[in-house]
Amino acid sequence: MKTNVKEIFGSNVFNDAVMKERLPKSAYKKMKAMIEAGADLDPEVADIIAHEMKEWAIEKGATHYSHWFQPLTGITAEKHDAFIDPQSDGTTLLRFSGKELVKGEPDASSFPSGGLRATFEARGYTAWDCTSPAFIKETPHSTILCIPTAFCSYKGEALDKKTPLLRSMQALDVQACRILRLFGKNVKHVTPSVGAEQEYFLVDKKKFLKRKDLIFTGRTLFGAMPPKGQEMDDHYFGTIPEHILEFMEKFNEELWKLGISAKTQHNEVAPAQHEIAPIYDQNNIATDHNQLVMETAQRVADEVGLRCLLHEKPFNGINGSGKHDNWSMCTDKGENLLDPGKRPHENMQFLLFLVAILRAVDEYAGLLRVSASTPGNDHRLGANEAPPAIISVFLGEQLEDVVEQLIDSGTATSSLVGEKYDPGVSSLPTFRKDATDRNRTSPFAFTGNKFEFRMVGSTQSISDPNVVLNTIVAEVLCDMADELEKATDFKMALHDIIKNTISAHKRIIFNGNGYADEWIEEAERRGLPNIKCMVDAVGEFVTPKSIAVFEKHGVFTAAELESRAEIMYETYAKTIHIEALTMIDMAKKQIIPATIKYQTSLAESINELNACGLDIDISVQTTLIEAVTKNLKAMHKALIKLEEVTKEAESKETGEVQARYYRDVVFATMAELRAPADELEMLVEKDSWPIPSYGDLIFEV
Name the 3-class secondary structure at 509. Answer: strand
Nearest-approach distance from CB 330 to ligand ADP, in angstroms = 7
Regarding 161 and contact with Mg ion (CB under 5 A), the answer is no
Query: Binding-site residue total for Mg ion (CB under 5 A)?
Result: 2
Question: What whole-number distance in Å separates Cα of residue 72 and Cα of residue 308?
Answer: 22
Q: Which residues of 238-258 are buried (b: 16+ CB within 10 A; e: fewer)?
A: eeeeeebeebbbbbbbbbbbb
Question: What whole-number distance in Å separates Cα of residue 430 and Cα of residue 420?
Answer: 7
Q: What are phi and psi of 669, to 5 degrees?
A: -70, -30
Q: Which does 149 bind (CB under 5 to 8 A by kind): Mg ion, ligand ADP, none?
A: none
Nearest-approach distance from CB 275 to ligand ADP, in angstroms = 7
Regarding 264 and contact with ligand ADP (CB under 6 A), the answer is yes
Closest CA to 99 of 46, 63, 153, 61: 46
Q: Let me know: does 130 contact 35? Beta carbons within 8 Å.
A: yes
Q: What residue spans of 487-617 are helical by DSSP H?
A: 490-505, 517-526, 534-537, 544-552, 558-586, 592-611
Regarding 449 and contact with ligand ADP (CB under 6 A), the answer is yes
Nearest-approach distance from CB 312 to ligand ADP, in angstroms = 18
Of the pair 9, 280, the CB lying nearest ligand ADP is at 280
Question: What whole-number distance in Å separates Cα of residue 557 and Cα of residue 548?
Answer: 9
Q: Which does 453 bind (CB under 5 to 8 A by kind): Mg ion, ligand ADP, none?
A: none
Q: What are phi and psi of 89, to 5 degrees?
A: -85, 10
Nearest-approach distance from CB 196 to ligand ADP, in angstroms = 7
Regarding 169 and contact with ligand ADP (CB under 6 A), the answer is no
Residues 329-348 that bind ligand ADP (CB under 6 A): 336
Residues 535-554 that bind ligand ADP (CB under 6 A): none
Regarding 386 and contact with ligand ADP (CB under 6 A), the answer is no
Q: What are phi and psi of 685, to 5 degrees?
A: -60, 145
Which residue number has the CB closest to ligand ADP?
Answer: 195
Nearest-approach distance from CB 393 to ligand ADP, in angstroms = 16
Nearest-approach distance from CB 324 to Mg ion, in angstroms = 4
Q: Binding string, 403-442, against ligand ADP, x = CB under 6 A? A: ----------------------------------------
Q: 197, 362, 475, 579: which one contacts ligand ADP (CB under 6 A)?
A: 197
Closest CA to 468 of 561, 395, 375: 561
Nearest-approach distance from CB 10 to ligand ADP, in angstroms = 17
Q: Which does 282 bind (CB under 5 to 8 A by kind): ligand ADP, Mg ion, none?
A: none
Nearest-approach distance from CB 494 to Mg ion, in angstroms = 32
Dihedral sign for Cα atoms in the order 2, 8, 12, 13: positive
Q: Which does 449 bind (CB under 5 to 8 A by kind): ligand ADP, Mg ion, none?
A: ligand ADP
Of the pair 165, 277, the CB lying nearest ligand ADP is at 277
Dihedral sign for Cα atoms in the order 108, 110, 115, 119: positive
Which residue number has the CB closest to Mg ion?
Answer: 324
Q: What is the DSSP letter of 307?
A: E
Nearest-approach distance from CB 281 to ligand ADP, in angstroms = 8
Of the pair 455, 635, the CB lying nearest Mg ion is at 455
Name the 3-class secondary structure at 197. Answer: strand
Of the pair 212, 266, the CB lying nearest Mg ion is at 266
Q: 102, 166, 194, 494: which one contacts ligand ADP (CB under 6 A)?
A: 194
Nearest-approach distance from CB 458 to Mg ion, in angstroms = 13
Q: 66, 149, 168, 193: which one contacts ligand ADP (CB under 6 A)?
A: 193
Q: Which does 92 bind (CB under 5 to 8 A by kind): Mg ion, ligand ADP, none?
A: none
Of the pair 97, 449, the CB lying nearest ligand ADP is at 449
Question: What whole-number distance in Å separates Cα of residue 255 and Cα of residue 9?
Answer: 8
Question: What whole-number distance in Å separates Cα of residue 684 and Cα of residue 693?
Answer: 12
Q: Strands (DSSP E) along 106-189, which ranges?
A: 124-128, 134-139, 142-153
Nearest-approach distance from CB 358 to Mg ion, in angstroms = 20
Q: 54, 64, 67, 324: which one contacts Mg ion (CB under 5 A)?
A: 324
Regarding 499 and contact with Mg ion (CB under 5 A), the answer is no
Of the pair 101, 277, the CB lying nearest ligand ADP is at 277
3-state secondary structure 322-343: EEEEEEEEEECCCCECCCCCCC
Binding span for Mg ion by CB under 5 A among 322-330, 484-492, 514-522, 619-627: 322-330
Give 111's contacts (C-beta < 8 A, 6+ positions apart): 71, 72, 73, 77, 124, 151, 159
The Cα diameter of the chain in Å comes to 106
Residues 190-249 that bind Mg ion (CB under 5 A): 197
Binding span for ligand ADP by CB under 6 A among 142-150, 277-285, 535-543, 547-555: 277-285
Q: Which does 328 bind (CB under 5 to 8 A by kind): Mg ion, ligand ADP, none?
A: ligand ADP
Of the pair 67, 380, the CB lying nearest Mg ion is at 380
Regarding 277 and contact with ligand ADP (CB under 6 A), the answer is yes
Question: What whole-number distance in Å separates Cα of residue 197 and Cα of residue 327?
Answer: 11
Q: Which amino acid is located at 294 in the chain? A: M
Dihedral sign for Cα atoms in the order 434, 435, 440, 443: negative
Count of all residues that appear for the chain in the document: 701
Question: What whole-number distance in Å separates Cα of residue 627 and Cα of residue 614?
Answer: 25
Regarding 450 and contact with Mg ion (CB under 5 A), the answer is no
> Which string of DSSP letters, residue by residue, matches 252-287?
HHHHHHTT--EEEEEE-SSTTEEEEEEPPEEHHHHH
Q: Which does 267 bind (CB under 5 to 8 A by kind): Mg ion, ligand ADP, none?
A: none
Q: 195, 340, 382, 676: which one contacts ligand ADP (CB under 6 A)?
A: 195
Residues 223-262 that bind ligand ADP (CB under 6 A): none
Binding span for ligand ADP by CB under 6 A among 97-105, 246-254, 290-298, 324-332: 324-332
Nearest-approach distance from CB 41 to ligand ADP, in angstroms = 29
Taking residue 493's Cβ as centre, other Cβ atoms within 10 Å add up to: 17
Regarding 45 and contact with ligand ADP (CB under 6 A), the answer is no
Regarding 325 and contact with ligand ADP (CB under 6 A), the answer is no
Beta bridge partner(s), residue 195: 326
Q: 65, 280, 444, 541: which one contacts ligand ADP (CB under 6 A)?
A: 280
> Which string of DSSP letters, residue by residue, matches 416-444?
--PPEE--S-TTSPPEEPPSS---SS-SE
Query: Binding-site residue total for ligand ADP (CB under 6 A)?
Result: 16
Q: Let me know: does 388 contact 514? Beta carbons within 8 Å.
A: yes
Question: What whole-number distance in Å separates Cα of residue 146 and Cα of residue 289?
Answer: 13
Q: Let me know: does 236 contact 440? Beta carbons within 8 Å.
A: no
Nearest-approach distance from CB 640 to ligand ADP, in angstroms = 47
Q: 170, 283, 290, 328: which one contacts ligand ADP (CB under 6 A)?
A: 328
Regarding 326 and contact with ligand ADP (CB under 6 A), the answer is yes
- CB-based burial of residue 504 (10 Å sphere; 0-12 exposed, 13-18 middle, 19+ buried)? middle
**Footprint of ligand ADP (CB under 6 A):** 193-195, 197, 264, 277-280, 324, 326-328, 336, 449-450
**Footprint of Mg ion (CB under 5 A):** 197, 324
